[in-house]
Amino acid sequence: MCGRIVVLDRGRVLRQGSVTGITTGLPGRDHYILTVRGLDAPPSDPRWRCALERHEDGILRLSAEVDRDGRAFSDLLRALLETRAVILSCARREPSLQEISTSWTRTRRGPRDEDAADAPGLHPARLPHRGVVPDFVHHAGLRIFFSVLIWYYVSRVAAAPSTTPGLEGVDYFAYVLLGLALLHYLSSALMSFGGKVRGEQMTGTLEAMLLTPTSIGTIVLGSSLWDFLLTSIKVVTYLVIGRLFFGVVIHLGNLLPALLIIALTVLAFSGLGILSAAFVLYLKRGDPITYLVASGSALVGGVFYPPEDMPRWLGGWSHLLPITYALRALRRALLRGSRFSELWPDIQALLLFVAVLLPFGILAFRFAVRKARQEGSLVQY
């Protein structure tokens, strides 16, 4: 329909362009069909392979596979004419999409990769992400532990009473523990979407990705699923460390409401992240969304200090941030064991944020894509 072809191998764009452009320099051999008269036997040469079919009227059909070196086909025609054969017609068979894909991927992989790809159970797409789990255990796990340890001693120095407005009877260390854990979701959403778009711009694969029939919403949401999965592991690690090493009481009876709250939180944060990606796509630089939302959430969102205990002119801004409602609901569910009816007002607020931010972010990204296409700046960075 669009006259363009994209060859993908293991998630990497090998070639893209028009049918003519992508077959230029294609490794392998060209296939020609010639009809000739007066030929006894086809000429032999390592650069081509010929098959001859004879017909009753004396016309022969010659199928020739010729190396794509720029001279092999000319030499074949010259060899045919030297035998005093008469060439009646000549046609080149265009390679199929399967042949194009196979030729380019074989060239990129090499013989050893081809053998590994053909071996059952050893295809790279079926292999796990090697190094991810060891890296998380040895690096991210230790960073989380020392971060929790630091805040444990900070909470002992601060010694904020549980009667402090906004703590709702919860120990300050447990309060900060959940704030740190949930802040990772916000950071992942704000950094992941824009980072993915910027990375695709720098590698030149953004246009090819947007030319696929996949909807823009699926592309932008699906591009960060792996990041959110790793973030979820980090959040669980925070809670496990807090429970095992520091005695934080976690009410597992409210696990299902907590998962609902986290899911709504991720969707609301994703709307902000996609809006950030729209700025990156169109402006080709950093966006104001990331800094404002991240700083505002850390300051007045209830991550480190309850906004209810702040001056009204400052703490009032917390009502505009989804992290405020997410943290309050999550703390009530996991630290206080509150009933669902007590969580419902904050869940309603999160539903409202999702209904507004997620569609708005996707619409803004679509608008940025359309404007970039109109201005011809989609592939620029």
Residue boundaries of the structural domains of the chain: 4-119, 135-375
End-to-end alpha carbon distance in the chain: 27
User: Nearest 5 degrees, angle CA 263-CA 267-CA 273?
Assistant: 140
**Beta-carbon contacts of residue 34 (< 8 Å; ≥ 6 apart):** 61, 62, 64, 80, 87, 88, 89, 90, 91
Rounded Cα distance, 166 and 335, in Å: 13
| Confidence at residue 80, expressed as pLDDT on a 0 to 100 scale | 81
Beta-bridged to residue 59, according to DSSP, are 37
Q: Identity (one letter) of the amino acid at 173? A: F
| Tens-place pLDDT, residues 46-93 | 888 888 887 767 788 888 888 776 677 788 888 888 887 888 788 877
Beta-bridged to residue 17, according to DSSP, are 5
The 3-state DSSP class for residue 293 equals: helix
| Tens-place pLDDT, residues 180-209 | 999 988 888 888 877 777 777 666 666 666
| Confidence at residue 317, expressed as pLDDT on a 0 to 100 scale | 92
Rounded Cα distance, 3 and 146, in Å: 55
| Confidence at residue 9, expressed as pLDDT on a 0 to 100 scale | 62
| Confidence at residue 275, expressed as pLDDT on a 0 to 100 scale | 87
Q: What is the DSSP letter of 96?
A: P
| Confidence at residue 128, expressed as pLDDT on a 0 to 100 scale | 44
| Confidence at residue 137, expressed as pLDDT on a 0 to 100 scale | 53
**Beta-carbon contacts of residue 261 (< 8 Å; ≥ 6 apart):** 326, 329, 330, 333, 343, 346, 347, 350
Residues of the chain with pLDDT under 50: 1-2, 111-132
| Confidence at residue 3, expressed as pLDDT on a 0 to 100 scale | 57
Beta-bridged to residue 91, according to DSSP, are 33
CB count in 10 Å sphere of residue 228: 17
Residue 381, classified by CB atoms within 10 Å of its CB into exposed (0-12), middle (13-18) or buried (19+), is middle
